[in-house]
Each structure stands twice: as C-alpha cells, then as structure tokens.
Amino acid sequence: MAAMLQPQIILLKEGTDTSQGKAQLVSNINACTAVADVVRTTLGPRGMDKLIHDDKGSVTISNDGATIMKLLDIVHPAAKILVDIAKSQDSEVGDGTTTVVLLAAEFLKEAKPFVEDGVHPQNLIRSYRTACYLAIEKIKELAVSIEGKSMEEKKSLLAKCATTTLSSKLIGGEKEFFAQMVVDSVISIGNDDRLNMIGIKKVPGGNMQDSFLVNGVAFKKTFSYAGLNNNQRNPSQYQSIVDAEWNIIYEKLDKCVQSGAKVVLSRLAIGDLATQVLGTCEIFEEKQVGNERFNIFSGCPSGRTATIVLRGGADQFIEEAERSLHDAIMIVRRALKNSTVVAGGGAIDAACCIIAGKSQLFINSYAKALEVIPRQLCDNAGFDATDVLNKLRQKHALPSGEGASFGVDINTGGIADSFANFVWEPAVVKINAINAATEAACLVLSVDETVKNPKSESAQGEAAASAMGGRGGGAAFRGRGRGMRRR
C-alpha cells in the first residue's frame, strides 16, 4: 500500500511521447515492412513503375528505388533508415536501391517472430552480422573476374552489366542500344573517374533511337561564335578610353591565338569579350536536334568528356531515362574498377542461401530472407514463386556446385543459367546491398525505445514556467530516463 502511494516521478518534459520494449521493436519492423511494400513491385525486368506527384503538381514516374524513396516523404523515424540506405546505395554504386530496401525489410520480417517470442535482439544482431559475413564470402567466391581481357572483350562484358541494369527500366526495350552508348561513354572518358565528365542533355521530341553519343561536349547554342579573323574590329572610331578597352580585348585574343584556339565562345556578342576558350577539337559542328540548335565539339584530346544527347517523348519519360542511364553509367564504372561480376536474376541471392543449414536458427532466417529477391522477381512477373524457388533450391543444392549461377528465367517462368544468359551484375552491387541492408536491419533491431520531444516551447513560456517553480509542483525534471512510466 505504501508503494502505491509513492509520488509519481516525471523525468521527461510534459507531452513527451515514448514507447519502448518489444512493442516498440515490432512497430518499427512493421513500419519498415510497409515502406518496402511500396517499392516491392518495382523490382526486376517485369517490375512496375510508380507515379508520384506532389502538391506543387510535379509528376515523377520512376522505377528507381532511391528516387521513389526520396519522394515518399516518410515520417516514421525507423523507416527513414531505409530511405538512407537506398540513398547511400545510389551514391555508392548507383544500382540495386530497390534490392537493398527489400533485403533490409525482409531481414527484419524474419526477425519479427523471434522478437515476439522474447529473443534478445542482440542475439539476432550477432547472428545477422555473422550471416552477412558468410554471404559476402560466398559472393566473393562465386564472382568472376573480367580482369586481363582485351578491350573489345571487356567492352562486351561491361555492356552485359549495363544491359542487366537497363532491363528493369522504362527504356528496357532499347537496352542494347543504350548499354552500348553507356559503355562507349565511360570508356571514352578514360581513367578520369569524375561522373560529371559524362553529360546528359535532354531534348524532348523524336524517339529513343534518335539519342546519340558525342565524344566531347554538346550544348544548346547559347553562344555567339566566330572564327578569329571575324573578331578584328576597327576600334579607331572610339575614344581613347574605348581604345584601351579594345587593347585589352586584343591582348586576350592574342592569348587565345597563342593557346591555339580555333573557336572562341562568348555568352554575349563576340565584340564584348571572349569569355571562354576551348582547346583544339577534331570536329566542331552546329546541328539541329529537335527544335534546338546544338553546338557539338567532338574529339577533344585534352578534355576527355562525353555527352549523351537523349531524345524521347514526354518530359517524365526523358527524366526517367536519364535516371536509368545514370544507374547504368555507375554500374559500368563500378564493373570497370572492381572487375568482378556475378549472376543476376536472383541467382547470387539463392546461392548465398547455402549459408543456411550449417549453423543456427537465426542464420537460417537470414538466408531465407535473401530469397526475397528471386521470389519478388517471380511475383512481379506473375510466375508461381513457390514453384520457381523450389526448382532454384534444388539446383543450388547440387553438391557439384554447378547450379550456383541459376536464377529466375524472366521469359519462361522457370529457371535458367543467368550467367550463360548474360544477366550479369557487378559483384560490388550485391556486396554493398547486403552489407547496407544488414547494417540497417541491425540498427532497427538495436532500438528499443523512441522518445519524441514536444515542440520546444518559446523562451517566454519557459521563463514563465521557471518563475512558477517548474511544472508539476516542482517535481518535473528534464532529461531522459529509462525508468519512466509509460504513457
């Protein structure tokens, strides 16, 4: 009776909302699963696209996991972690952003029954980390190196990776055409690893095959230009002050001549100042692209740049095509650098499931979660996922290991050797995705309490409160504490 009469101790600011323990964990897991459900249907060549429009009226149609996640405006604090890993996957490797979200959510989904049964999350986290390590070792073991091949061979291998990336996009119908273009552009910038050396210019109109690659720079004709001898103007009619100005121009032009420039570009009329000087280039031409005039400089030996001029119908379509090309460009750069590839179509994910069976329950759950990729590829294509997964498991369980490259055959609904069918992905995409997804899952599992502070009161309000000796008759303490009462 005495215990019941103890005064209530308030540790947190009034209005603070907290929830903790198992219920909190389960609610976080549910939120992450809900977010993954949004992008689930976009996975793979038969995946659907999402149309997102905001209150400003801008419309985005996209298949790209990171783009969708960014636009979703998620408010749940735990689910925001998924947005972050999608973003980091996008900036790190460019592709695999849907994969990473699905994997993270699936790891959590598999952990949920254990959490509900009272398993301590730290046990799960430890096993998940071990499983992640095992899966990545497996990927490294199965990865095939493209090192030491001739340039021609390398180009065709890289094109395979780009094709796999593009096959799940809106421009998938023209994947070979664009894959070639992407590989050529990446090769043409050489070892220069700066992504901004590959420009993409969007010109609405025409069809996709009208897109072309310029081995140099191309831009809308916003400059006035002229051969150097056109720039010799007679300054005599001007007063001395103007003469001086002309001298400056001549000096500059002299410098241009000395630099070997053949063309001077200026935003304003060339009579003002030549603002930009380019080095030599093999071809300079002015070309009509759609209803725009374009200046095209190709074969510039000093500045290794490439520009893809993208044509297509609606604005949203070209925007999405640009995002898809960005994915493909990133993938080719990655494959070129790391030079190992793995079989796609869920093959590598199914192969990683081999880590199961060896040891304990939680690792088995992790392995099962990896199957979400082939399962989702089937679901999105309208195949019987259970049937395909059974076949896949059988193949991958073959002791000889010959079935390791078998994945979902997106054309027939059965299984096929993804490697032989050239459904290739750079190993780094998978390694990064698995690492990031595991980290995110572990992060969510390690949170057992969420504290939401009420909006900070105005300074005036606070002053008034302290003058009153604090709220709750002086019993209110600010700060955080675990032993607080649940509200």
Exactly one of 12, 124, 179, 377 binds ligand ATP (CB under 6 A); that residue is 377
Residue 13 to residue 471: CA distance in whole angstroms: 9
Minimum CB distance to ligand ATP, residue 17 (Å):
34
Q: Do 269 and 224 form a contact (C-beta atoms < 8 A)? A: yes
Instruction: Give whichever of 39 and 356 is closer to ligand ATP, judged by the CB atom.
Output: 39
Which listed residue (18, 28, 33, 42) binds ligand ATP by CB under 6 A?
Answer: 42
Which of 166, 442 has the CB closer to Mg ion? Answer: 166
Contact partner, 417, from ligand ATP, Mg ion, none, Cβ < 5-8 Å per class: none
Torsions phi, psi for 171 (to 5 deg): -90, 20
| Shortest separation between residue 138's beta carbon and Mg ion, angstroms | 21
Q: Which is nearer to ligand ATP, 93 or 203 (CB)?
A: 93
215, 304 contact by CB (below 8 A): no
CB of 470 to Mg ion, least distance (A): 56
Residues 85-104 that bind ligand ATP (CB under 6 A): 95-99
Going by C-beta distance under 8 Å and a sequence separation of 6 or more, which residues neighbour residue 244?
none
Give the span between the Cα atoms of 96 and 103, in whole angstroms.
10
Site for ligand ATP in 291-350 (CB under 6 A): 327, 344-346
Torsion over CA of 294, 297, 303 and 308, rounded to 10 degrees?
50
| Nearest-CB residue for Mg ion | 95
- Closest to ligand ATP by CB, 289 vs 348, is 348
380 sits near ligand ATP (criterion: CB under 6 A): no
**Of the two residues 95 and 379, which places its CB atom closer to Mg ion in the complex?**
95
DSSP labels, 435-464: HHHHHHHHHHHT--EEEEPPPPPPHHHHHH
Q: Of 195 and 248, which CB lies nearer to Mg ion in the complex structure?
A: 195
Does the footprint of ligand ATP cover residue 28 (CB under 6 A)? no
Determine contact, residues 192/303, Cβ cutoff 8 Å.
no
Contact 8, 485 (CB under 8 A): yes
**Shortest distance, position 9 Cβ to ligand ATP, whole Å:** 49
CB 39 to Mg ion: min, Å: 11
CB under 5 to 8 A by kind: which of Mg ion, ligand ATP, none does 167 bind?
A: ligand ATP
Nearer of residues 92 and 95 to Mg ion, judged by Cβ = 95
Binding residue (CB under 6 A) for ligand ATP from 25, 36, 65, 128: 65
Cα 99 from Cα 300, distance rounded (Å): 39
Candidate ranges 43-51, 105-113, 310-318, 463-471; the one touching ligand ATP (CB under 6 A): 43-51
Do the strands 306-312 and 198-204 form a parallel or antiparallel pair, or are they unpaired? parallel
What is the 8-class DSSP label of residue 412? T
The count of residues interacting with ligand ATP (CB under 6 A) is 27
Tell me how far apart the alpha carbons of residues 194 and 306 are, in angstroms, rounded to a whole number: 11
Out of 60, 127, 164, 215, point to the residue binding ligand ATP (CB under 6 A).
Answer: 164
CB of 442 to Mg ion, least distance (A): 25
Residue with tokens 């964990």: 25
Q: Which is nearer to Mg ion, 216 or 345 (CB)?
A: 345
435 binds ligand ATP (CB under 6 A): no
Task: Return residues touching Mg ion (CB under 5 A).
Answer: 95, 165, 168
64 binds ligand ATP (CB under 6 A): yes
Question: What SS3 state is found at 479?
Answer: coil
Which of residues 312 and 344 has its CB atom nearest to ligand ATP in the complex? 344
Q: Residue 35's binding partner, choosing from Mg ion, ligand ATP, none, with beta-carbon cut-off 5 to 8 A by kind?
A: none
> What does the DSSP 8-state code read for residue 476?
B
In the complex, minimum distance from the CB of residue 343 to ligand ATP, in angstroms, rounded to a whole number: 8
Interacting residue with ligand ATP among 410, 428, 441, 444 (CB under 6 A)? 410
Reported as type and span, the H/E element at residue 31 is helix 21-40
Cα diameter, the chain: 108
How does DSSP assign 161-227, residue by residue? Answer: HHHHHHHTSGGGGGHHHHHHHHHHHHHHTTT---GGGEEEEEEEBS-GGG-EEESEEEEES-SEEE-
CB nearer to ligand ATP: give 67 or 215. Answer: 67
Q: Find, among 421, 346, 480, the residue nearest to 18 by Cα.
A: 480
Q: Give the integer Cα–Cα distance in Å for 423 and 168.
A: 11
Tell me how far, at minimum, the Cβ of 95 lies from ligand ATP, in Å: 5
Q: Does 373 bind ligand ATP (CB under 6 A)?
A: yes
Q: Which residues sit opposite 406 in a β-bridge?
A: 417
Asked if 355 contacts 367 with a C-beta cutoff of 8 angstroms, the reply is yes
Give the Cα separation of 388 and 46 in Å (integer): 16
Of 32, 36, 45, 300, which lies in the binding site for ligand ATP, with binding defined by CB under 6 A?
45
Tokens 């960014």 correspond to: 70
* Span of 25-33, 39-47, 207-215, 475-483 interacting with ligand ATP by CB under 6 A: 39-47
Residues that bind ligand ATP in the complex, under the rule CB under 6 A: 42-45, 47, 63-65, 95-99, 164, 167-168, 327, 344-346, 373, 377, 407-408, 410, 423, 425
